[in-house]
């Protein structure tokens, strides 16, 4: 038999109840005086009256023993005695609690999925064997150890209570790697206090199963038990939003919001547009088709083919000659309110300027002349490197919105957007390798805005240099030897790097026929539009929950205050070059930054994730490799004695 309650609970109850009861039986009864003719029949009463002490000797009293028995049984009940249903001694349990956006879904009965997961995790802790140990890991886009391996159930329960809801997308891969670290067989194994090495673990995952990266998860040592949380299926959410200014009329704003129905019933919702908190327009989206039937949703993923009628786009046009905060809202209520709002920070309009750095390239000059730029300049590489700072930099940023460098690698990179041909920015993780000849392009992302309507398959390129990029870079065109066109975001800069140039290394012969095609002009138009979108023609760079953003601060400022959507204010110190990087973006909404340079005073954080908005619990949870068992609740094995 075991006791679930801590030892001090019955001890306090015993001290509070038993001594007062026994004391009552020590007290002498206080009698009332009555005149009588004789005391012959009252001798015993007279003897009691002759005792002066307020206390008497404790006598053997049946009522006292019965009352003590009742109190002891009550104290025993408070101690929560249990019979163990099955032995689980000596195991290591790792509790993985999903706190991603979909776990905020409110289930019938009023509790969120995360609250249900916490309750199930506490039940599991109560069921642990006498010698079992456990640890608690919470995860959304990143994993955090809230309690290291311990037998202390109070610590484990406290850690479970401290699992906080996030609006980020759930990813299991990192959490599983962290979970398996204690059971690693490196050296002699992970040793506990009793010098007992642990070679495998029991991993318990509390989730609704909507984790888009499970195909990367491998359970190498131990078993994974999945406790599926939730039943709700009905949800309609905003899955993408785009805010742009017109090139020709920068004061005009277009807002496109895509809405999708992830439930089993058709829905009609109103889409409202707010600018700086004022309502500017409303559109009604009628009869969005359901994603599938109730018995089918649990077997689908958000990537599966679904009816085209289950999504629609709301488009708004308005005039906004200044900066502004854009918000799109869905009317009505559903189980997941986090995807019913989307935000954007719009920069004030200004004309787009560009700089071409080249030793001589008439095709790039012609491209610049064909683009809708307010102005552009052409410098040689020497002019670029030797130009005084005041000619290239203004208010901490490059004077040009986009800089195109033709065959010139450089480390002079003031905050701006850059396009490199046969060259690279001289920053960590980026380099050019050996020469590649006679290869074809294997794959390209024609859905990316830069390659939209660009006929990559029609291009002929004779040679390029191997392009070495960091893991976070986006590959837009790829060959068998690696990336050919890649996009990298690094702090306040955007780098679009093309591994080939328009001419060969001697700049004598053409290296491609691309500049004879319409797609070359389309590529230039798309590139300038995309690279300058964050500062001149649309919204600030979009930020996903959990993703860090970097802002520039005013000269002479050492720290800034960042107000989160939940009202919390964080203070961040500025580092070199007057930049502040902030990563506590776990909630959606507007983050306002004090003492930032004009245009960097706010950032918008949006969910915009089909994976999280698809809230129907996953009935077919699969991983890449390993043993998996599933259930919908933790079986209570510690049965109350009564």
Q: Which of 101 and 64 is assigned the larger pLDDT?
A: 101
When pLDDT is cut at 50, 70 and 90, the band that residue 139 belongs to is very high
> Could you tell me the CA-to-CA distances from 331 to 259, 277, 282, 616 in Å, in that order?
12, 16, 10, 21
pLDDT value for 199 = 58
Confidence of residue 397 (pLDDT cuts 50, 70, 90): confident
What's the angle, vertex CA 540, arms to CA 538 and CA 543, rounded to 5?
135
What is the pLDDT confidence band of residue 193, given thresholds at 50, 70 and 90? very low
Q: What is the pLDDT of residues 595-635, one digit of tens each?
A: 988 778 899 999 999 999 999 998 888 888 888 888 877 76
The least confident of 14-18, 286-290, 564-568, 588-592 is: 14-18
Q: What is the DSSP string of 29-95?
A: PPPPP---S--GGGHHHHHHHT--SSB------HHHHHHHHHHHHHHHHHT-EEEESS--TT-EEEE
The residue ranking higher by pLDDT, 578 or 636, is: 578
Q: Which residue has the higher pLDDT, 48 or 246?
A: 246
| Percent of the chain residues topping a pLDDT of 70 | 88
Return the residue matching tokens 């969120």: 112
Of 346, 329, 326, 331, the residue nearest 275 (C-alpha): 326
Kindly calculate the radius of gyration of the chain based on its CA atoms and give it in whole angstroms: 35
Q: Determine the average pLDDT of the residues in 506-532.
A: 90
pLDDT score recorded for residue 100: 95
User: Which of 187, 178, 213, 239 shows the shortest CA–CA distance to 544?
Assistant: 239
Q: Which two tokens stand for residue 233?
A: 């299926």
Coil, strand or helix: which one is 630? strand
In this prediction, residue 45 carries a pLDDT of 61
pLDDT digits (tens, 9 = 90+) for 416-442: 899 999 999 999 999 999 999 988 899
From 31-40, 45-54, 432-441, the region with the lowest mean pLDDT: 45-54
- pTM of the predicted structure, to 2 decimals: 0.69
Interval 467-503: pLDDT, tens:
999 999 999 999 999 999 999 988 778 999 999 999 9
- pLDDT value at residue 251: 83
- H-helix segments, 336-469: 362-370, 381-386, 389-392
Has residue 327 got a pLDDT over 50? yes
Smallest CA-to-CA distance from 497 within 586, 432, 574, 559 is with: 432
Quote the CA–CA distance of 114 and 161 in Å, as a whole number. 10
Q: What is the pLDDT of residue 7?
A: 72
The per-residue pLDDT for range 294-307, each reduced to its tens digit, is 888 888 877 777 78
Q: Which of 67, 78, 73 is nearest to 22 (CA)?
A: 67
Confidence of residue 451 (pLDDT cuts 50, 70, 90): very high
**Nearest alpha carbon to residue 137 among 104, 101, 173, 190:** 173
Which residues fall within 8 angstroms of residue 51, CB to CB, at 6 or more apart?
Answer: 28
Over 50: is that where the pLDDT of 187 sits?
A: no
- Chain segment 463-476, per-residue pLDDT in tens: 999 999 999 999 99
In angstroms, rounded to a whole number, what is the distance separating the alpha carbons of residues 164 and 219? Answer: 26
- pLDDT at residue 189, as a whole number: 39
584, 540 Cβ separation under 8 angstroms: no
More confident residue, 471 or 54: 471
Q: How far apart are CA 124 and CA 118, in angstroms?
A: 10
CB-CB contact of 176 with 182 (8 Å): no
User: What is the residue-wise DSSP string for 494-536?
Assistant: EEEEES--SB-TTSSSBSBSGGGSHHHHHHHHHHHHHHTIIII
pLDDT at residue number 47: 59
């Amino acid at each position: 038999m075991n006791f679930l309650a801590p030892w001090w609970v019955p001890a306090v109850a015993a001290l509070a109840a038993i001594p007062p009861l026994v004391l009552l039986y020590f007290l002498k009864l206080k009698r009332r005086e009555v005149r009588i003719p004789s005391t012959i029949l009252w001798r015993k009463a007279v003897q009691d009256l002759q005792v002066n002490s307020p206390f008497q000797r404790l006598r053997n009293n049946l009522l006292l023993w019965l009352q003590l028995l009742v109190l002891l049984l009550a104290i025993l009940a408070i101690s929560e005695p249990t019979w163990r249903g099955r032995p689980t001694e000596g195991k290591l349990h790792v509790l993985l609690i999903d706190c991603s956006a979909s776990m905020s879904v409110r289930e019938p009965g009023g509790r969120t999925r995360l609250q249900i997961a916490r309750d199930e995790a506490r039940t599991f802790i109560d069921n642990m064997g006498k010698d079992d140990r456990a640890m608690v890991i919470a995860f959304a886009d990143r994993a955090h150890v809230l309690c290291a391996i311990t037998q202390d159930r109070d610590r484990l329960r406290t850690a479970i209570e401290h699992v906080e809801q996030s609006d980020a997308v759930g990813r299991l891969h990192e959490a599983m790697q962290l979970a398996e670290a204690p059971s690693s067989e490196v050296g002699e194994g992970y040793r506990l206090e009793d010098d007992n090495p642990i070679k495998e673990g029991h991993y318990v995952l509390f989730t609704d199963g909507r984790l888009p990266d499970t195909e990367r998860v491998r359970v190498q040592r131990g078993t994974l038990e999945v406790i599926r949380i939730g039943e709700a299926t009905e949800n309609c959410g905003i899955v993408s939003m785009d805010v742009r200014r017109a090139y020709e009329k920068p004061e005009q704003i277009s807002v496109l919001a895509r809405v999708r129905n992830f439930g089993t019933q058709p829905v009609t919702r109103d889409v409202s547009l707010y600018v700086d908190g004022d309502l500017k327009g409303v559109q009604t989206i009628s009869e969005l088709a359901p994603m599938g039937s109730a018995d089918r949703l649990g077997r689908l993923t958000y990537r599966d083919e679904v009816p085209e009628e289950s999504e629609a786009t709301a488009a708004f046009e308005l005039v906004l000659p200044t900066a502004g905060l854009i918000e799109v809202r869905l009317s009505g209520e559903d189980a997941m309110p986090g995807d019913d709002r989307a935000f954007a920070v719009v920069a004030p309009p200004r004309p787009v300027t560009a700089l071409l750095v080249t030793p001589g390239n008439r095709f790039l000059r012609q491209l610049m002349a064909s683009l809708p730029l307010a102005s552009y300049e052409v410098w040689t590489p020497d002019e670029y490197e030797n130009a005084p700072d005041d000619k290239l930099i203004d208010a901490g940023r490059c004077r040009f919105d986009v800089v195109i460098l033709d065959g010139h690698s450089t480390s002079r990179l003031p905050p701006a957007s850059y396009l490199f041909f046969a060259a690279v920015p001289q920053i960590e993780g980026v380099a050019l390798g050996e020469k590649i000849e006679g290869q074809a392009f294997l794959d390209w992302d024609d859905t990316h805005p830069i390659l939209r309507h660009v006929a990559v398959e029609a291009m002929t390129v004779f040679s390029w240099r191997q392009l070495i990029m960091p893991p976070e870079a986006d590959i837009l065109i790829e060959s068998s030897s690696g990336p050919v066109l890649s996009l990298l975001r690094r702090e306040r800069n955007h780098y679009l790097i093309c591994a080939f140039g328009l001419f060969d290394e001697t700049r004598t012969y053409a290296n491609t026929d691309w500049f004879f095609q319409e797609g070359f002009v389309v590529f230039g138009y798309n590139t300038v539009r995309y690279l300058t979108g964050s500062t001149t023609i649309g919204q600030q760079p979009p930020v996903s929950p959990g993703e860090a953003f970097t802002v520039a601060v005013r000269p002479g400022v050492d720290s800034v205050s960042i107000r989160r959507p939940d009202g919390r204010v964080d203070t961040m110190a500025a580092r070199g070059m007057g930049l502040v990087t902030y990563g506590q973006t776990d909630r959606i909404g507007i983050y306002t930054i004090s003492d930032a340079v004009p245009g960097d005073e706010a950032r918008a954080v949006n969910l915009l994730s089909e994976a999280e908005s698809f809230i129907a619990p996953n009935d077919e949870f699969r991983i890449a490799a390993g043993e998996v068992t599933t259930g919908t609740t933790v079986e209570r094995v510690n049965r109350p004695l009564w």
